[in-house]
Amino acid sequence: MMGLYFLYNLAVSAVLLCTTPADGYVYQMMYDCEYGDNITDMVFIVKNIFNQKLNNIYDSRVGKYVGFGEYGMKNADHYNNQAWKMALRKTQVETLCRYNARLFRRSTLDRKVPPIVRVHQTKLTNYGERSMLECSVVGFFPQEVRVSWLRDGVEVSTDVSSTDVLPNEDWSFQLHSYLELTPKRGERVSCRVDHSSLKESLEVAWDTFALDAKHVKMTAGIIFFFIGLTAAAGGAVYHWWKQRFDFSPVGRQG
């Protein structure tokens, strides 16, 4: 049957090509699968269009072709009398529409990829100086995401800015949020992310190790400086005392 169908289409194409007028012929066959949130309610539609005019249409809800115009009705009756074609249309609801709908949902609507979150300082500054933190949220899917800032567990909304949700080449998204603040020693600043791929909110705290290490290095440098200064002063005093009071045997004899 499929071989006869192929030969029929080939013959029709040959006739159209041999009798093509100056303006030409345009024949289109369009497949359309329509469904809602529940893919069990599937509607399969086939449209045959000739020179931009709808010739006939197959609707799975009706179960047959319906023609428009004289030639459209003739073609519809011809298709409806082809048992193999009608059987093929009924099976295509499952093999063509529902099968591809499952693949589409699995790769788009049902796809869940959790984000990767990183919080860092855009420019290293000291405590008490105005600074800016960046929360980078990357690699998540779907697109909907909520990012907020917390200072000692309290959400802040002032001095906060954010980029738009940007697409990546791997069908994932990224977003960058910024917080302007004056860092305080001992304060906990964190970025909280809410996404459908997460069972609960993901909170990532700002690691102040680099800032604390800078102060530790400075404090250690000051301590070693005073140790060196004390040692140098002690050496100078000892040298002066030795010159002032000579305790050598020759000096004692004198």
**Helix and strand totals (H; E) in the chain:** 6, 13
Q: What is the CATH number of domain 2-107?
A: 3.10.320.10
Q: Which of 129, 113, 109 is nearest to 121 (CA)?
A: 129
Residue 254 has pLDDT above 50, yes or no: no
Q: Determine the pLDDT at residue 208.
A: 84
Q: Determine the pLDDT at residue 107.
A: 79
141, 162 Cβ separation under 8 angstroms: no
Q: What is the mean pLDDT of residues 228-252?
A: 61
Cis peptide bond upstream of 142, omega within 30? yes
| Most confident listed range (67-76, 125-134, 213-222) | 67-76
Q: What is the mean pLDDT of residues 40-62?
A: 92
What is the separation, in whole angstroms, between the first and last Cα of the chain? 135
Percent pLDDT > 70 in the chain is 74
DSSP state of 96: I
What is the CATH architecture assignment of 116-207?
Sandwich (2.60)
Q: Determine the pLDDT at residue 66.
A: 95
Task: Specify the pTM.
Answer: 0.55
* φ, ψ of residue 65 in degrees (nearest 5): -85, 145
Residue 37 has pLDDT above 90, yes or no: no
Residue 17 has pLDDT above 80, yes or no: no
> How many other CB atoms are found less than 10 A from the CB of residue 57?
19
All residues at 6 or more sequence positions from 84 whose CB lies less than 8 Å from its CB, including other chains? 1, 2, 5
Q: Determine the pLDDT at residue 127.
A: 82
